[in-house]
Chain A
Amino acid sequence: MVRRRICIAFKAVSMSFHDSKWFNSLPTPKGDLEKIQRRGREYLDLIGMPKKSDEAWRFTDLSRLSSLFNLPFLLNNPTNKIRKNIPLPSSKFEGFQLVISPGFDPLESVDLPDGFTQLSTAELDGILGRTIDKCSCNDEWLVAVNNSCTYRVLGLRINGDNLPPLELVLDSREDAFVATRIVLIVESKTKFDLFQVLLGKNNSAHSHLLEMHIGSDACVNHGWLARGTKESGYFATLAIEQDIRSQYAFSSVQEGWSFGRLEQKIVQESGYASTALRGLQVSKGKEQIVNNSTIRFDGPEGVLDQLQKAIAVDYSHSIFNGSIEVPRIAQRTSASQLSRNLLLSKHARIDTKPQLKIVADDVKCTHGATVSQLQEEQVFYMLSRGISHEDAMRLLLKGYCEEIVRTLPVSGSRWGVLSNLLEGV
C-alpha cells in the first residue's frame, strides 16, 4: 500500500516533467553532442523534477523552478537569425568581448586576439565533461538539464601572460528557455581576467554551464554578474578544476532574478593552490536567489578564503550553502568561510548553511555566519556625526556591497554594478 503510493507520486512528478514545454520543444538528439544530450535526458527521466526532500533543493521554491520549464527551448542556431538587442554598456572597454546570444555564432566575424584559440571538435570531444567529472557533479540535476540541451559549445584555449581581459556576455530571450555552455582551458602559467555577464529578459530562463581547467601556476581572476529583470530565471553551474599552485579568484554579484541559482564547484586537484571566493546576492520583491558553493581539496596546502554576503528585502528569500571538503590527503589546508547576511525587511527570509567535512588533522578551518540588521553601533556612530538615518543606511549598505563589488575584475565597473544594486533596497 505504501509502496504503491510512492510509485504514483513518482509518476506524477515525471509526468509533469515530460509535459513541460521545455522538454517537448527539445530537438531530437543529434550531431557531435548527441551522446551528451541523451545522457542528460536519461538522467532526467530517471530522477524527474527535484523534490523538497532532496537536501540540495530543500529551501527552493520548486513551483517557480518548474514554471521556468514551461518556456519553450530556443535552439541557439546561427541560421535562425534574430536581431541582437543587448543592453551593452557604452563606455569603452580595454578588452575583448564575446556575446553569446540566441541566433548568433559568438565567433562569427571575430578575430580572436593572440593567446586565444578555438578548440576543435576533436579536442572538445575529449575535454567536454571532464571537469564536471572531476568536480563530481555529473549527477547534478542542473548539469543534466544543461547536458540535455547542449547543442553548441564555445571552447577556448587560453595561453599567455599579457592577455586582454575577456568579457563574455550571455544573453537571454523573452518568453524562451536558452542554454549556453562554455569550456575554457587555461594553460599553465597563464594570467587571465574573465568577466561573465548573464542578462535576464522578462519571462526568460537561462541554463548555463562553464567548465574551466586552470593549469599549474596559472592565475585567473573571474567575475560573474548575473542581472535579471522582472520574471526572469537562471541557473548556472561553474565547474572549476585547479591544477597545482594555481590561483583562482572569483567574485560574483547576483540580483534581480525571480529565480536565480548559482552553483560553484571547485576542486583543487593537486594542492598548493589558492582560491578566493567573494559573492553578493541581493534579493528584492518576491525574488529567490541561491548561491551554493562546494570546494574540495584533493591535495595538500590548499588555501580558501571565502566571503559570501546577502541582502534580503521585501518578501524575498536568499539562500546560501557553502560546503568545504578536506579529505585526508589535504594536510595543511587553510580554509576560511564567512557568510554575512542582512535581513532588512519583516517578510524577507534568509537560509544559510555552511558545511565542513574534515578528515585531515593538520588543517586550519574556520567558518562563520551572521544574520542581522545593520549594526546598531555603526548606525549610531554615523547618527552621532549628524548623518541622517537614511544616509547612514545608504552609506552602510554601499560599504557592505562595495567590499564585494570592488573585487570584480576591471570591466565590472562599466556595468554600474553598485548603483544598480542599491536601487530600491
Chain B
Amino acid sequence: MINPDAELILEISDLHASVDDQPILKGVDLKIHAGEIHAVMGRNGSGKSTLSKVLAGHPSYKVSKGKVLFRGEDLLVLEPEVRARIGVFLGFQYPVEIPGVSNLEFLRVSTNSRRKQLEVEELDPFAFEELVRSRLNLLQMDPIFLERSVNEGFSGGEKKRNEILQMALLEPIFSILDETDSGLDIDALRIVAAGVNELSKKETAILLITHYQRLLNEITPDYVHVMGFGKILRTGGSELALELEKSGYEWLEEESVSPLRP
C-alpha cells in the first residue's frame, strides 16, 4: 500500500558492511514508508542476508560506511535487543536451536520486553499463555510447540512458523523476513503468508527477502528490489519479480556491470 505521506520508517543510505574483513555490502540505498511491503531478491551471495543481519545488529557484521535511520533515529548505534524492543524484527533464515530453553518462557520474556518498551502492562504466565494460544491459531500451530525447547528438533517449516509466531507476539513496526519461504511446502507457505498479511498494517512495514516468486504470489509487494554485488541494482513494482522469474538475474547483472568493464 503506497502512501507518499506515510511515515518514513526506514532509511538506508550508502550502507557498506563486511564480514570477516570481507566487504559484502557496497553502498545500499533504500527507503521504506509505513504501510509498504518491499521484496529484495537476488542470487546467493548478493548480500541479501547480510543486509538483514546488519539491520538486526549481528555482531559479526561490521558497518564500515553509511547510515540507517529507523523512524529518524540512528539504528546502527543500538544494541540488538534494543532494536527488537523498539520494533525491528528479523525472521531468521536459519533459526538457531537452543536446547533446554523452554519455548514458552523464551516467548514470554521476549514479549514482555517489547511491552515494557511500549509501556504496556507486562503479562504474567497465565495471561501470556492465553495470548500465545490465540496467536497459535492464526498460524495453525500445535500448542505442543510451547512445551519444547526453542527450535530444538523442529522441522524446517516448524522453525519458520515459530518465527512468525514471534512476529505476531512482538507486533513490530518493521519486519525483515529472511527467506521465510525456504523449506516450506505450499500449504505451510500459505499459512505463513496469511499470517504475515494479517500482521501487515498501515502503520507497519515489511521487507521480504526471497529467492523465488512463489512467496510473492501470496504476499504482494509494493516494491521489488534486485540485489547484486552488494548493491541494489534495480527497483520496480511487483511485475519486476515476474520478469526475474522468467529471465533470471543474469541480464540485470550484466547490464549493471558492463559499463564498468574496459
Contacts and interface: CB of A to CB of B under 8 A. Distances in A.
B233 to A, nearest CB: 28
Contact of B106 (A382, A383, A401, A403): A382
A261 B51 CA distance: 50
A378 B149 CA distance: 12
A387 B99 contact: no
A381 B96 contact: yes
B262 interface: no
Contact of A384 (B81, B109, B149): B81
A377 to B, nearest CB: 5
Nearest to B86: A386
A42 interface: no
Contact of B117 (A375, A378, A386): A386
Contact of A387 (B92, B100, B113): B113
Contacts of A386: 81-82, 84-85, 110, 113-114, 117, 170
A388 B81 contact: yes
Contacts of A395: 101, 105-106, 109
* 3 interchain residue pairs of minimum CB distance: A399-B100, A399-B101, A386-B84
**Which range holds the interface residue count of chain B?**
20 to 34
Given A378-B96, A380-B59, A386-B84, 19 more contacts: A376-B59, A376-B60, A378-B98, A380-B58, A381-B92, A381-B98, A382-B110, A384-B56, A384-B80, A384-B81, A384-B83, A385-B166, A387-B109, A395-B101, A398-B100, A399-B100, A399-B101, A403-B99, A403-B100
A391 interface: yes
A43 interface: no
A405 to B, nearest CB: 10
B35 interface: no
Contact of B84 (A376, A378, A385): A385
Interface in A37-86: none
10 contacts: A382-B81, A383-B57, A383-B80, A383-B84, A385-B110, A386-B114, A395-B106, A398-B101, A399-B149, A403-B100
Nearest to B102: A399
A389 interface: yes
Contacts of A376: 59-60
A402 B114 CA distance: 26
Contacts of A389: 79, 81
Given A376-B59, A380-B80, A399 B98 contact: yes
A335 B100 CA distance: 22
A272 B219 CA distance: 56
A387 B79 CA distance: 11
Contacts of A399: 98-102, 149
A400 B100 contact: yes
Point out which of A376, A386, A399 has the most chain B C-beta atoms below 10 A from its C-beta.
A386
Contacts of A377: 96
A128 interface: no
A388 B79 CA distance: 10
B98 A396 contact: yes
Interface in B44-62: 56-60
Specify which of B57, B83, B96, B166 lies most central, judged by the most chain A CB atoms within 10 Å of its CB: B96
Interface in B84-133: 84-85, 90, 92, 95-96, 98-102, 105-106, 109-110, 113-114, 117
Contacts of B96: 375, 377-378, 381
A385 B113 contact: yes
A382 B79 CA distance: 12
Contacts of B110: 382, 385-387
B58 to A, nearest CB: 6
Given A376-B59, A391-B109, A395-B105, A383 B81 contact: yes
A388 B99 contact: no
A398 B149 CA distance: 12
Nearest to A405: B100
Given A395-B105, A395-B106, A384 B98 contact: no
Contacts of B56: 384
A381 B83 CA distance: 12
Contacts of A387: 81, 109-110, 113
Given A377-B96, A403-B100, A383 B114 contact: no
Contacts of A396: 98, 101
Nearest to B99: A403
A403 B84 CA distance: 28
Given A377-B96, A378-B96, A384 B101 contact: no
